Amino acid sequence: MRGPHNLWRLIRTGATFERTGAMRSALEAMNVPPRLRFVARVMGWPFAWLGHKGDPSLPPVTRAITALGPAYIKFGQILSTRPDIVGFEMANQLRYLQDQLPPFPTEQARATVEAELEQPVDALFSEFSAPVAAASIAQVHRARVRETGEEVAVKVLRPGIVKAFRRDIDAFYFAAGMIERLLPSTRRLRPTDVIAHFEGVVMGELDLRLETAAAAEFAANTEDDAGFRVPRPVWDLSGRSVMTLGWAEGVSLGDNDAIDALGVDRTELGERVLELFLKHALRDGYFHADMHQGNLKVGAGGEIIAYDFGIMGQIDEYTRRVYAEILYGFIRKDYRRVAEVHFEAGYVPADRDVEEFARALRSVGEPIFGMEASRISMARLLNYLFEVTERFGMETRTELILLQRTMVVVEGVARSLNPSINIWRVAQPVVEDYIRKSLGPAALMRDLGRAAMVLSRFGPHLPGAVEAALIRVRQPQTPPPARLSLAPVAWFIAGAAVTWAVLVTVLLV
What's the angle, vertex CA 329, arms to CA 323 and CA 334, rounded to 5? 155
Distances (CA, A) of 207 to 73, 239, 455: 19, 8, 38
pTM: 0.69
Burial 169-183 (b: 16+ CB within 10 A, else e): bbbbbbbbbbbbeee
User: Residue 60 corresponds to which amino acid?
Assistant: P
Q: Provide the β-strand partners of residue 472.
A: none
Q: Give catalytic status of residue 99 as yes or no.
A: no
Q: Give me the chain's average pLDDT, please.
A: 79
Which parts of 299-351 are beta strand (E)? 304-306, 312-314
In the chain, where the domains are located: 6-100, 161-204, 249-338+397-453
What is the spatial distance between Cα 346 and Cα 361, in angstroms, rounded to a whole number?
16
User: Residue 388 corresponds to which amino acid?
Assistant: V
Q: Are strands 228-229 and 304-306 parallel, antiparallel or unpaired?
A: parallel
User: What backbone torsions phi and psi does residue 151 show, to the nearest 5 degrees?
Assistant: -85, 130
What is the spatial distance between Cα 164 and Cα 413, in angstroms, rounded to a whole number?
29
Q: Provide the β-strand partners of residue 245.
A: 153, 233
DSSP 100: B
pLDDT number for residue 96? 77
- Provide the Cα torsion 416, 419, 421, 427; round to 10°: 40
DSSP 282: I
Residues in the chain predicted with pLDDT less than 70, given as ranges, are: 1-6, 27, 29-33, 35-45, 47, 78, 81-88, 98-99, 185-189, 368-387, 390, 395-401, 439-452, 454-456, 458-459, 462, 475-509
Q: Provide the β-strand partners of residue 155.
A: 140, 243
* CA count, 13 A, side-chain hemisphere, 354: 14
Q: Is 403 exposed, middle or buried (0-12, 13-18, 19+ CB in 10 A)?
A: buried
Chain Cα centroid distance, residue 299: 25
Q: Would you say 64 and 20 are in contact if contact means Cβ atoms under 8 Å apart?
A: yes
Contacts for 56-60: CB closer than 8 Å, 24+ residues apart: 58/93, 58/96, 59/25, 59/90, 59/93, 60/20, 60/21, 60/22, 60/24, 60/25
Q: Give the active site residue among 99, 168, 290, 308.
A: 290
Q: What is the pLDDT of residues 306-332, one digit of tens each?
A: 988 888 888 888 888 888 888 888 878
Q: Which residues contact 336 (CB under 8 A, 6 or more apart)?
A: 354, 355, 358
Closest residue by Cα to residue 73 from 37, 92, 109, 99: 99
- DSSP code string of 39-66: HHHHHHGGGGGGS----TTS-HHHHHHH
- Which helix H or strand E contains 222, and what residues bound it? helix 208-222
Q: Is 306 helix (H, G, I), strand (E, B) or coil?
A: strand
What is the spatial distance between Cα 149 and Cα 125, in angstroms, rounded to a whole number?
9
Contacts for 81-85: CB closer than 8 Å, 24+ residues apart: 81/292, 81/293, 81/408, 81/409, 81/412, 81/413, 81/416, 82/378, 82/408, 82/409, 82/412, 83/412, 83/415, 83/416, 84/376, 84/377, 84/378, 84/379, 84/412, 84/415, 85/30, 85/378, 85/379, 85/382
DSSP 397: -
Closest residue by Cα to residue 138 from 165, 110, 168, 99: 99
What is the spatial distance between Cα 327 and Cα 345, in angstroms, rounded to a whole number?
14
Q: What is the pLDDT of residues 11-39, one digit of tens each?
A: 777 788 888 877 777 767 666 667 666 66
Q: Which residues contact 189 (CB under 8 A, 6 or more apart)?
A: 395, 396
